[in-house]
Chain A
Amino acid sequence: GQSLEQPSEVTAVEGAIVQINCTYQTSGFYGLSWYQQHDGGAPTFLSYNALDGLEETGRFSSFLSRSDSYGYLLLQELQMKDSASYFCAVRDRGDDKIIFGKGTRLHILP
């Protein structure tokens, strides 16, 4: 079956760096996406990895290793506004469905 695993919660300190991991089981996919969702809001797109390696977008970076079935989102210089849930997602190559992980709740301490 298809599944993505993420930690349910992560806590970090303002100004620090945090990494949110995502491991997956799927027969094939086009790429790994990351979304941010604040409480009561809609998910917003953060980053996408079509190929292995690191993609950097400002304070956010995302990494993919297909051989390890693993990816992560790296958030640097954490700000209080980064407190949110973060979801990894893949688009399955077989049936074209987009599959989301259950999300990681990021708590930031002052």
Chain B
Amino acid sequence: DGGITQSPKYLFRKEGQNVTLSCEQNLNHDAMYWYRQDPGQGLRLIYYSQIVNDFQKGDIAEGYSVSREKKESFPLTVTSAQKNPTAFYLCASSIDGPGAHRTQHFGDGTRLSIL
């Protein structure tokens, strides 16, 4: 079955440490996204990528970095510059193209906490 796999499900970060969240999809989707969700809040866009080797900053990109070396993979690194990283991180993918019926498929998320 096609889908999006995020790992790990839970992650703990120490002060000054960079951590990387994995996101892999086998839906053959061109576009991939990373969102952050805080308790009782909506989804805020961190980064998105519409094609391999290209990505754009979302609304809250500071303290995060991404790469898109393969169509299937869009890892997110939470750097030590992100002072408040505790949140639920969601990866999504979608088909692309103007006028296409656009839906996003989400992974099950990664919960990141500070030790």
User: Which residues of A approach B to under 8 Å, CB–CB?
Assistant: 30-31, 33, 35, 41-45, 48, 50, 87, 89, 91, 95-103, 105
Q: From B35, which residue of chain A is reached at the shortest CB distance?
A: A100
- Give the residues in chain B near A42, CB-CB below 8 Å: 90, 106-109
| B58 on the A face (CB < 8 A) | yes
Q: From A45, which residue of chain B is reached at the shortest CB distance?
A: B103
Q: Is the CB of B102 within 8 A of A87?
A: no
Q: From B106, which residue of chain A is reached at the shortest CB distance?
A: A42
Q: A41-B108, A42-B106, A44-B106 are in contact. Are A103 and B101 (CB under 8 A)?
A: no
- Give the residues in chain A near B99, CB-CB below 8 Å: 30, 50
Pick out which of these stretches binds chain A: B12-20, B37-45, B63-71, B72-80: B37-45
How many angstroms from the CA of A12 to the CA of B43 in the assembled complex?
Answer: 24
Q: Is the CB of B43 within 8 A of A100?
A: yes
How many angstroms from the CA of A87 to the CA of B45 in the assembled complex?
Answer: 14
How many angstroms from the CA of A96 to the CA of B99 in the assembled complex?
Answer: 12
CB of A35 to closest CB in B, whole Å: 8
Q: A30-B99, A45-B104 are in contact. Are A87 and B42 (CB under 8 A)?
A: yes
